[in-house]
Amino acid sequence: MTNNATMRAISQDTHGTPDVLKEVLIPRPTPGPSQILVAVRAAGVNPTDWKHRSQVLFLDRMPLVLGWDVSGVVEAVGYGVTLFKPGDEVFGMLPYPYGVGSHAEYVTAPARAFALKPAGIDHVQAGALPLAALTAYQALVDTAAVAPGQRVLVHAAAGGVGHLAVQIAKARGAYVIGTASAPKHDFVRSLGADEVIDYRTTDFRDVAHDIDVVLDPMSGETRARSLEVLRPGGVLVSLLPPTDPDEAQKAEARGVRVETLLVEADHAGMSAVADLVAAGSLRAHVEATFPLAEAAKAHALGETDRTTGKIVLVVGGSEAAQAS
């Protein structure tokens, strides 16, 4: 049972399997200057969550409450906040990586990490969007400046980032090619992809040519091979570090650019995502929802690497009835 001084959260005291995640009672935060306190209604679970759960990446503190995605209701505002008022419905990504902590009933974060939640979607849908949609938007728009008529290749096009990237690229007027396993081809086409390549049976280099922009969430061999399909002047945006020590020289020789993106909290980006949602151009596919107490089950499902779209924790409000 919680009171005004405490809240439920999913915490871990050590790294390991999903079993290290436990529901605990911890102090409820209060917003500082330029911060808002959000009563969390839904919070997405992303690959970075289970990676941070299992090992030291950016975060080496314990105990640790994970979660960067959040959709909820403003409970209180700190000194100097003018964007939002108590009662506003907002969604956003906590500052990555150190602002973590949305897998809880309440969270504080800079006001400008959020935007108003589009009225046409519920908190589950909104909670699925921030980290993955911002990643795709910052890769395709801010970094690659995708323009109408350009050819965009999205790897893992049925995944959390990929399925949103396909929609964002289409909204920019691009010709979009996605890679996915055969059972997911209809789904990727339903997002607007013009072509879908079965990565299990086809080397994408044989069919994808003169590509302007590649979005690669996977790195490794996929990143290295993606250089070969770019036209001169093209750009590869990867979400993980390079594994080829000669990559820079190869890119220069081909006349292409390679960028490694780490997503950033961004009010303007969230507002752009909200506009795409309101226009009907962007929607998250929610594979499954779980109540907050079953965060370990959400992590276990995510780690199978077989899900389509996003997994969401339902924390409070009417959406709790939808949790499965």
Torsion sign, CA atoms 108, 112, 113, 117: positive
Of 98, 106, 167, residue with least CA distance to 132: 167
Tokens representing 95 are 């500052």
Token pair 């350009």 is found at 150
Do 74 and 246 touch, CB atoms closer than 8 A? no
Phi, psi for residue 86 in degrees, rounded to 5: -55, 135
pLDDT at residue 183 in the model: 96
Do 36 and 76 touch, CB atoms closer than 8 A? yes
Do 284 and 132 touch, CB atoms closer than 8 A? yes
For residue 175, what are the CA distances in angstroms to 193, 222, 293?
A: 8, 20, 42
Do 258 and 242 touch, CB atoms closer than 8 A? yes
Do 152 and 176 touch, CB atoms closer than 8 A? yes
- CB proximity list for 308: less than 8 A, separation 6 or greater: 158, 159, 163, 184, 187, 285, 287
Query: What phi-psi label fits residue 83: left (phi over 0), alpha (psi between -120 and 50 degrees) or beta?
Result: alpha
User: Does residue 40 sit in helix, strand or coil?
Assistant: strand
- Tell me if the pTM is above 0.85: yes
pLDDT at residue 306 in the model: 84
pLDDT at residue 3 in the model: 66
Please name each of the domains of the chain with its CATH number.
6-129+284-322 (3.90.180.10), 132-260 (3.40.50.720)
- Residue 57 CB neighbour total at 10 angstroms: 12
pLDDT at residue 320 in the model: 42
Q: Could you tell me where the DSSP H helices lie in the chain?
A: 47-54, 123-128, 130-137, 160-171, 185-190, 220-226, 247-254, 267-278, 295-302
Q: How far apart are CA 3 and CA 77, in angstroms?
A: 19
Mean pLDDT by 10 residues, the chain (324 residues): 83 97 97 98 97 94 97 98 98 98 98 97 98 98 98 97 98 98 97 97 96 93 94 97 92 96 98 98 98 98 92 78 38
pLDDT at residue 317 in the model: 67
Asked if residue 97 has a cis previous peptide bond (ω within 30° of 0), the answer is yes
